[in-house]
Amino acid sequence: MTEQLLAARYRLEREIGAGGMGRVWRARDIRLDREVAIKTVDLSGVRDPSLAGRFQREIVLTARLTSPYTVTVFDGGVDGSTAYLVMELLRGESLAELIARRGPLGLTATLDVARQVTLGLAAAHAVGLVHRDIKPANVMLTEGGRVKLLDFGIAQLTGQADPHLTAPSMTIGTAAYMSPEQAAGLRVDAATDLYALGCLIMTMMTGRPPFDGDQPVVVAGHQINSAPPRLNQRRPDVPQGLDALVAGLLAKTPLERPSTAATLRALEHLQGNPSAATVPVAVPPPTPPPTAAPMQPTRPYTQPAPAQSAASHGVRGPAHLPQQPGSWWIAGVLLSLMAAVLVAGLAVNLSGLALTNLGRAFPSASASARPSSASPKPSVTASKKKTTTPDPGHAVALAAALQGVQLALNSLPDSAAKSDLGQRWSTTSSRIAAGTNPKDNLAAFEKAVRASDLQGWERQAVLTATGIVKSLL
């Protein structure tokens, strides 16, 4: 790559955006003499071997989409140490920019944007794609009034993700729009995007998502463990039908959410009948938070009041816990709470999800938790041995605690140590879940953490999470 010319064809003119997956440029295709948008990712010095593969996958998968509600991909490849993706250049503003400029949207505008986003999702889901990062910044409002979905950079083929590209326990996405299963590092599908759509509608109507805050690990914890607010609690003037639809989209269990097609029908019905009290889709009531646990429940995160001093702008955790400085403390408390809730039999509000998705993510652990149906073989010492029934709750708790370590790793700033430990943990957690020398494997991982370049709260967050796992072994 020369200073201004990419792949001997594209002249980079001006940077128009940047994010976790690279930069976006306004550029000119000198061969066809047209303006384009180009996304670039600098691969030099990147120790993560999966990055180039993920980017190449983005090119192939995004090129499958031909919907008018998704951005069109023209070309892509790697030039030296720079991976690039050539797309149509869109003129307009993102939904995030619109909300920041105007505040919450009206009902008509919200329904129109939500319907077009759903049409884009329908096209993606039809070819087996899950976006996994639906949020206002990835929704483009073009000058012609068309809504387009951007950045399928972290999308994956449903059920066909290459384990060498994205580890099963890796959590990718934006915490404020992340489904419970995604926040827990479990397998995702179309229902994950629909949960994010519910968060998106909440943001359009109220100016903020169901859960928000400065600490992604805290927000992710609320996505898993806290009952979301009802839309009409924040904005009483919304029609009952839209309130019910959003409640269904924000269901904790994926199977309880309406399908993409059903969601589209509901939005079209509301567009034609804005004051409708019902929508043509079975939408479950919001799942109430568990009450049987011998501990105080967490409550949704709320931003500090503007009048508070800078010293008081810390993250607000569970109501009964004191505020303390240090991200490591926040991460450690959250993970401890998650594990405690699971051990108490609550399964972090995922009672149905735990037996399906957690079992899918950790088949060995869930299989070992199920009592065998086979009759025990007779033994001369059988009468002298104490027979115990495996505890399914323990297997679920262990699986969640393993995911808790991944959550702590995901909360760290990008670094070589984070990448190395992430790869180590992927192998370690699989071995622990399979029952392969769990204590020895965990001890080896803890040794690697202590020998790494992690310092302060970063090291403490990971060690706190591994300590929870150790308590369950």
Active site amino acids: 133
- Chain-centroid distance, C-alpha 107: 27
Contact 331, 464 (CB under 8 A): yes
Do 149 and 119 contact (CB within 8 A), yes or no? no
Which amino acid belongs to residue 383?
Answer: S
Residues 6+ apart with CB under 8 A from 158: 125, 128, 129, 130, 189, 190
Determine the Cα–Cα distance for residues 459 and 455; give it in Å rounded to an integer: 5
Distance CA 301, CA 292 (A): 22
Distance CA 281, CA 264 (A): 10
Q: Considering only CA atoms, which of 330, 313, 316 is closest in space to residue 458?
A: 330
Return the number of other C-beta atoms located less than 10 Å from residue 155's C-beta: 24
Identify residue 116 by its one-letter amino acid code: Q
Tokens found for residue 207: 């100016």
Measured between its terminal Cα atoms, the distance across the chain in Å is 52
CA dist 436 and 431 (Å) reads 5
* Residue 66: half-sphere exposure toward Cβ, Cα within 13 Å: 1
Tokens of 282: 């079975």
